[in-house]
C-alpha cells in the first residue's frame, strides 16, 4: 500500500491525464449517451436553482444528477491531492521560461501578463 501511495505522489507526465480524459469522454457518450464535463453541470445547477420558464433550463435535471456528483468529486479530489498527496518539493521553473511566458515577481505572488508587465 505504501508503494502505491508513493507512486501517486510522484510527478506524472501530463499526457497520462490526457489519455484518461480523452478515453472517458467518448466512452460515456457511446456507452451511456451521457455528456461529460463541468459546463453541462452548470446547466444542471441553473435548472435546479432557478426554476424558470426558459426552455433551455426546463427539463428534468434530476436525471442528470450524476454529473453534479462528478463536480463535487472533482472538488474533493483536488482538495485531497493538494493537501495530502503533495510531495512538498518546490516546483522549479527555469528563469528563461518565466521570462518567455511573462511571469513577474511581486512581493506576494507571481503574476502573469501577456506583455510581461505587472
Residue 38 has pLDDT above 60, yes or no: yes
Distance of CA 62 to the CA centre of its chain: 23
Domain boundaries in the chain? 2-87, 88-118
State how far the Cα of 104 lies from the Cα of 28, in Å rounded to an integer.
42
- In the prediction, which pLDDT does 110 show? 53
Q: What is the pLDDT of residues 50-87, one digit of tens each?
A: 877 888 888 888 888 888 888 899 899 989 888 887 77
CA atoms of 62 and 67, how far apart (whole Å): 10
Helix (H) or strand (E) segment spanning residue 111:
strand 110-112
Contact 41, 72 (CB under 8 A): no
What average pLDDT does the chain have?
78
85 with 8: CB under 8 angstroms?
Answer: yes
Residue 76 pLDDT:
94
55 vs 118, residue with greater confidence: 55
Amino acid at each position: 500500500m505504501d508503494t502505491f501511495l508513493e507512486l501517486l505522489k510522484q510527478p506524472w507526465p501530463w499526457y497520462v491525464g490526457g489519455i484518461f480524459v480523452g478515453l472517458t469522454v467518448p466512452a460515456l457518450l457511446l456507452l451511456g449517451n451521457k455528456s461529460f464535463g463541468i459546463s453541462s453541470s452548470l446547466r444542471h445547477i441553473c435548472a435546479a436553482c432557478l426554476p424558470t420558464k426558459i426552455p433551455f433550463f426546463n427539463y428534468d435535471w434530476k436525471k442528470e444528477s450524476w454529473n453534479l456528483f462528478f463536480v463535487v468529486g472533482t472538488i474533493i479530489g483536488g482538495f485531497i491531492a493538494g493537501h495530502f498527496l503533495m510531495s512538498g518539493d518546490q516546483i522549479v521553473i527555469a528563469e528563461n521560461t518565466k521570462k518567455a511566458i511573462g511571469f513577474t515577481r511581486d512581493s506576494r505572488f507571481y503574476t502573469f501578463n501577456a506583455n510581461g508587465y505587472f
